[in-house]
Amino acid sequence: MKHKKRRSYGWKITEVIFFVVAGMLLSYGIIYTVGDPISYLRDFFQEEKVIINESIIEGCTNLNIFNSAVCLQKNVKNLPYKYNLSNADKDLTFEELKQQGGVCIHYSLLYYNAGKELGFYTEEVIINSDEKNAHIFTIISNTEGYCLLDSEIVQCFKFVNN
């Protein structure tokens, strides 16, 4: 009777160690090259849905964060604001938003891109109102403080140390 030759367990452990180390090096390489992978993916997909127009940031440059936020609000109010639920799942251009209207995500994206354009840190915040509905708004910030920009509403807060 012939015996089958078995692979040694030492070889299997070496393979496992190799793949674990290779995975760690690959992960390190991605993080080193890209930075935070979540932010990279968010920014990558965010670029696909750019809603911005020079008229939104007109007059808002070279101002402090509080005056910039009020300026953005004034410019967005000039669109005018049109709530259009039928556009909720659509990526809109600036002209489509202006003509057809949109929902909170469109105006949040408009503020997000305008804030970035003006050099502020920007963050979109999603809050749930129930199991099926949510609301999204944008926060812009810098060392002076932060401002919540929500459709036609602006609320700013100054940092205590400033």
User: Using one digit for the tens of pLDDT, what is the confidence trace for 15-49?
Assistant: 767 766 666 666 665 555 555 555 544 554 454 45
Structural domain range at position 77: 45-158
Averaged pLDDT for residues 57-86:
89
Other CB atoms closer than 10 Å to residue 130's CB: what's the count? 6
Q: Is residue 36 part of a domain?
A: no
- Output the pTM of the full model: 0.67
- Residue 113 maps to which CATH number? 3.10.620.30
Cβ atoms of 61 and 20 closer than 8 Å: no
Q: Is residue 9 part of a domain?
A: no
pLDDT category, 99, cuts 50, 70, 90?
A: confident
Q: Is residue 31 part of a domain?
A: no
Of 70, 85, 79, 84, the C-alpha closest to 51 is: 79
Please give the pLDDT value at position 70. 95
Instruction: Kindly tell me if the per-residue pLDDT of 82 is higher than 70.
Output: yes
Q: Is residue 129 part of a domain?
A: yes
Please give the pLDDT value at position 147. 96
Structurally, the chain folds into a number of domains equal to 1
Q: Is residue 22 part of a domain?
A: no
Q: Is residue 19 part of a domain?
A: no
Other CB atoms closer than 10 Å to residue 98's CB: what's the count? 17
